[in-house]
Structure 1
Amino acid sequence: MKTSLITFTATVTVILLCSTLPLSLSQRCNVKDQITLLRIKNSLGNPTVLASWTSNSDCCKWHYVECDLYNDRIKSLTIFSGNISAPIPDTLGNLPYLETLILRKLTNLTGQIPATITKLVHLKTLTLSWTNLSGPIPSFLSQLKTLTTLDLSYNNFNGSIPPELATLPNLESLHLDRNALTGPIPDSFGNFTGKVPAIYLSHNLLNGTVPKSLAQVNFTWLDLSRNKLQGDLSVFFGTNKTIETADFSRNLFEFNFTTLNEFPSSLSVLDLNHNSIYGSLPETLTGLQLQSLNVSYNRLCGEIPVGGRLQNYDNTAYFHNRCLCGFPLQACF
């Protein structure tokens, strides 16, 4: 009986001691990372969206934060849909193990991308989207050699596209759409040093002709829609290409579609609407398993080739051309 009482007393004592241990001895989060996050919160004006970020709690349990299971350092920071009115804090660069940084739908996030972001040498995903960030897209982003995703869409970035982005060796997707970018597509985009990423450049003010260097690489997903681009699109097509989705709509492209008669079997989406493309539809289009096709609002003539999936679309895929005819448009005479 006496032994049991001693054991019970010892157990209670251990529980009481553990409950009174300082947070710094029991939390997972690295102290340096916690201090950095609290400074970030302060720089952002202590928004309510970050209310869980308090000095007396484990930052690995904070909202929008994820710690690495092995070293307990901050590896992911994802803040979205918050009422934040501030620029991106320079102190973000003091999270050395960060792999994912997403700041999305923060409509009052302003200013430019800070150079300290280049200190994040392990960063794989950088998404700064649906904000009011402005200024030029900085060329120093090319220093983030581990990036696989760069998403700067839906912002107010202006100026030209940095050619240095083509030196990112692991890039898989590049989203620069929905900004106010000007100038041509960089010639360097025909010389990616690593993978050829899916590229989204739509809804900008890009101009000039498509660089011939782009014939040297194989794109799988390319969206150049809603710009002021000109020239010939044949560099993207051919039986040796691997492009799957190609959206070139609402530009100033002007070329003879008849001469573009070789397409890769991988092509499933082709959108050329609202350009000045002339000639006739190539017969080789009938050999494709197209999921989507739109050539409306051009200057095409001749009969729509019969076969494949070309008759599966309604007339909106073909209308408003100079003299295109045949089902689903009116019969040719």
Structure 2
Amino acid sequence: MKAYTYAAEIYMYNFVKFCCHHTLSNVKHNNIHLNGFLFIYFHCHPCININPLTSKPILFVPQSQPAAAAAKHGGSKVYASHNHHHHHHRGNHNHPDPAAASDDSNPRLHRAFLALQAWKHVIYSDPYNFIATWVGPSVCNYKGVFCAPALDDPKIQVVAGIDLNKGDIAGFLPEELGLLSDLALIHLNSNRFCGILPQSMANLTLLYELDLSNNRFVGPFPTVVLSLPTLKYLDLRYNDFEGPLSPQLFQKNLDAIFVNNNRFTNVLPATLGGSSASVLVVANNNFGGCLPPSIVSFANTLEELLLINTNLSGCLPQEVGFLYKLRVLDVSYNKLVGPIPYSLAGLSHLEQLNLAHNSMTGIVPDGVCCLPNLANFTFSYNYFCEEEGICQNLTSKGITFDDRQNCLPEKPHQRSQKECNATLEHPVDCYEYPCDGGFGGGAAAFAPTIAAVPAATPLSSPFSTAAPSYT
């Protein structure tokens, strides 16, 4: 297991009870219940191991323990994709009393006071009275604001986290937000914040988690987030960002990338990789072009890849079959053509495979149907004309499947012969197929040895009760 030295750069403070919850294809996976609100910072008192979405341990290391010790323990990456319910406990825990800090004694809390008051003045709707408590200089008592000991001086308190999830708050983010330079996390899921992100966010050099999902932010991809050196979790889904994705997004060392359900256009960048992301969700945008073969750069980390309804064309590249850690692959509702790459038979950990609503042809290979962990295989609304071996009886393997509206002889609910002939009379050579994005595609010339992995489902919005759909 890969050890991450930044595990030594984590600390936590206020405890909250929450539950991780993810859904895909009506399958639910409940993570371990945690009695700890994670403030992703650089110090903490106990050494704690917990299981995140990928079931790898997260190591929280005491501030006296060096980074090398964290590596020795095998601390792994973390990204918070969870629905949580707050039950705040503000016990002393031997920390300085946040309420005792004054503007005079703590200039950093004074700067936080200025920032939060500026923010309060550009909020014009607060139906659940989050902001009503933002009165006076004791910012650590504000609802949704969490304090912790400063990294460089544990004797003083700083604003380490802001959580306004599900507040239905309307307003925008002021430039003064950049004064909150001690922030480790910002959670603004399910509000009505609008406008563009302020460039002053570049000052948030300790920010680890940024969740702006389910809002009304606009403008081009906010490149300011790419300047944040410690950022690991980025969630921009369900907004109105538009234009091309920055190529640097896929070169930044992020653990989770959610940019689905925006208005991004142009093709996916030709060069993907450099990121250590285990989850990549770009669904419901309008990219077009082909999936670049450089997707293979994610081979060592990627576990969930969701490209639903992104206007992808061309063939599914064989390189997808080399993402050997994949548990979820969903390329449904696109314009993909050609056969299923035989290389997919090497995805031994794959649990969810959705190829539905494309124009793919050829056979459904036995190697894919025999994947040891496959639980859900959907390839309906294509033009497949043959199912190999066990693919003809997936029920016997306990696999949930949907093969409707193909060209499969003697199977019910198939396309008409006329409709099938119109497509099957013009087979696609993936090695020569032109791609709008300039990328090649194609089926693998060989079937890799079958390996193995666990099932997951499209992730729900990490901090909302209702799990949004990707389609």
TM-score by length of 1: 0.82
Q: Indicate the structure (1 or 2) with the bigger Cα radius of gyration.
A: 1
2-side partners of 1:160 and 1:196: how far apart?
20
Equivalent residue letter for 2:114? I
1:162 aligns with 2:246: yes
Q: 1:272–1:294: 8 Å Cα contact kept in structure 2?
A: yes
Q: Please give the secondary structure, in 2, of the residue aligned with 1:158.
A: strand
Instruction: Name 1:220's counterpart in structure 2.
Output: 303
Task: Mark the CA change 1:240 to 1:167 in structure 2 (over 3 Å): closer, same or farther.
Answer: closer
Q: Give the superposition deviation at 1:238.
A: 3.3
Instruction: Name 1:276's counterpart in structure 2.
Output: 359
Deviations 1:266-311 (A, max 9, x none): 1111000000111111111232121211000000012353279822
2-side partners of 1:63 and 1:22: how far apart?
17
Kindly report the root-mean-square deviation, in angstroms, between the aligned alpha carbons of the 2 structures: 2.8
1-side partners of 2:215 and 2:333: how far apart?
25
Instruction: Name 1:16's counterpart in structure 2.
Output: none
Instruction: Name 2:173's counterpart in structure 1.
Output: 88
Instruction: Name 1:246's counterpart in structure 2.
Output: 329
1-side partners of 2:342 and 2:412: how far apart?
22
2-side partners of 1:235 and 1:210: how far apart?
10
User: What is the correspondence of 1:101-140 to structure 2 with a 5 Å cutoff?
Assistant: 101-107=186-192, 109-140=193-224
Task: Mark the CA change 1:257 to 1:25 in structure 2 (over 3 Å): closer, same or farther.
Answer: closer
Q: 2:215–2:238: 8 Å Cα contact kept in structure 1?
A: yes
Aligned residue among 147, 150, 155 for 2:231:
147
For structure 2, list consecutive stretches of 5 or more residues without a partner in the other structure.
1-99, 415-471
For structure 1, list consecutive stretches of 5 or more residues without a partner in the other structure.
1-20
Deviations 1:32-80 (A, max 9, x none): 2222212221222484321111115x22122111111444111101113
1:98 aligns with 2:183: yes
Task: Mark the CA change 1:258 to 1:226 in structure 2 (over 3 Å): closer, same or farther.
Answer: closer
Equivalent residue letter for 2:195? G
Q: 1:300–1:323: 8 Å Cα contact kept in structure 2?
A: yes
- Worse-superposed segment, 251-260 or 276-285: 251-260
Q: 2:255–2:278: 8 Å Cα contact kept in structure 1?
A: yes
1:196 aligns with 2:280: no
1-side partners of 2:323 and 2:284: how far apart?
29
User: What is the correspondence of 1:251-330 to structure 2 with a 5 Å cutoff?
Assistant: 251-257=334-340, 259-260=342-343, 262-288=345-371, 289-303=373-387, 305-306=389-390, 310-311=394-395, 312-313=398-399, 317-323=402-408, 325=410
Instruction: Name 2:113's counterpart in structure 1.
Output: 34
2-side partners of 1:207 and 1:235: how far apart?
19
Deviations 1:297-333 (A, max 9, x none): 000012353279822356x61111012556999xxxx
2-side partners of 1:253 and 1:231: how far apart?
5
Q: 1:313–1:328: 8 Å Cα contact kept in structure 2?
A: no
Number of equivalences = 303
Task: Mark the CA change 1:84 to 1:201 in structure 2 (over 3 Å): closer, same or farther.
Answer: same
Q: Please give the secondary structure, in 2, of the residue aligned with 1:199.
A: strand
Instruction: Name 1:7's counterpart in structure 2.
Output: none
Name the structure, 1 or 2, with higher relative contact order (CA <8 Å, separation 6+). Answer: 2
2-side partners of 1:175 and 1:280: how far apart?
33
Percentage of identical aligned residues? 24
Instruction: Name 1:77's counterpart in structure 2.
Output: 162
